[in-house]
Amino acid sequence: MWQRFQVKKNERGLLLRNGDVQKLLEPGEFHLWNWPKRYTLLTFSLDEAAFTHSLADYLCRNEAALVETHFQRIELADHEAALRYENGVLAEILLPGSRQLYWKAAAPQTFERIDLRTQFELSPAVLATLTQAALRAKTIRNNNTVLQVQVPESHIGLLHINGQFQRQLKPGRYGFWRFGRELTVELVDTRQQTVEVSGQEILTRDKVSLRLNLAANWQFTDIELAFTQLPKPVDFLYRELQFGLRAAVGTRTLDELLENKQLIDDVVVAHMRTRLAGLGLCVHSVGVKDIVLPGEMKTLLAQVVEAEKAAQANVIRRREETGATRSLLNTAKVMEDNPTALRLKELETLEKLAERIDKISVFGGFDQLLNGMIKLGS
Q: What is the pLDDT of residues 280-318, one digit of tens each?
A: 999 999 998 888 776 565 555 555 556 666 677 677 777
Tell me, yes or no, whether 198 lies in a domain: yes
3 state SS of 300: helix
Residues 214 and 247 in one domain: yes
Tell which of 293, 308, 323 closes a domain: 293
Q: Give the CATH number, domain containing residue 226.
A: 3.30.479.30
68-98 burial: b if 16+ Cβ within 10 Å, else e: eebbbebebeeebbbbbbbeeebbbbbbbeb
Residues 218 and 180 in one domain: no
Residues 166 and 250 in one domain: no
Q: Is the pLDDT of residue 366 over 90?
A: no
Residues 180 and 198 in one domain: no
Tell me, yes or no, whether 43 lies in a domain: no
212-230 burial: b if 16+ Cβ within 10 Å, else e: bbbbbebebeebeebbeeb
The pLDDT value recorded for residue 307 is 63
Residues 261 and 277 in one domain: yes
Its pTM stands at: 0.67
DSSP for 41-105, written as a single string: EEEEETTS-EE-STTHHHHHHH-HHHHHHHEEEEE--TTEEEEEEETTEEEEEEPTT-EEEEETT
Tell me, yes or no, whether 281 lies in a domain: yes
Give the phi and the psi of residue 58 in degrees, each rounded to 5.
-65, -45
Tell which of 132, 151, 185 closes a domain: 185
The number of distinct structural domains making up the chain is 3
CA 250 to the chain's CA centroid: 32
Residues 231 and 166 in one domain: no
Confidence band, pLDDT 50/70/90 cuts, at residue 208: confident
Percent with pLDDT over 90 in the chain: 48
Tell me, yes or no, whether 318 lies in a domain: no
The pLDDT value recorded for residue 272 is 93
Residues 174 and 201 in one domain: no
- What domain range is 124 assigned to? 120-185
Tell me, yes or no, whether 138 lies in a domain: yes
Tell me, yes or no, whether 228 lies in a domain: yes
Tell me, yes or no, whether 216 lies in a domain: yes
Tell me, yes or no, whether 223 lies in a domain: yes
Q: Which long-range contacts (CB under 8 A, 24 or more apart) does 114-118 make?
A: 114/80, 114/81, 114/82, 114/83, 114/177, 115/79, 115/80, 116/79, 116/80, 116/81, 116/177, 116/179, 116/180, 117/79
Q: Using DSSP bridges, classify how beta strands 2-7 and 28-33 pair: parallel, antiparallel or unpaired.
A: antiparallel
Residues 132 and 213 in one domain: no
Q: Which of 238-252, 281-295, 359-373 is least confident? A: 359-373
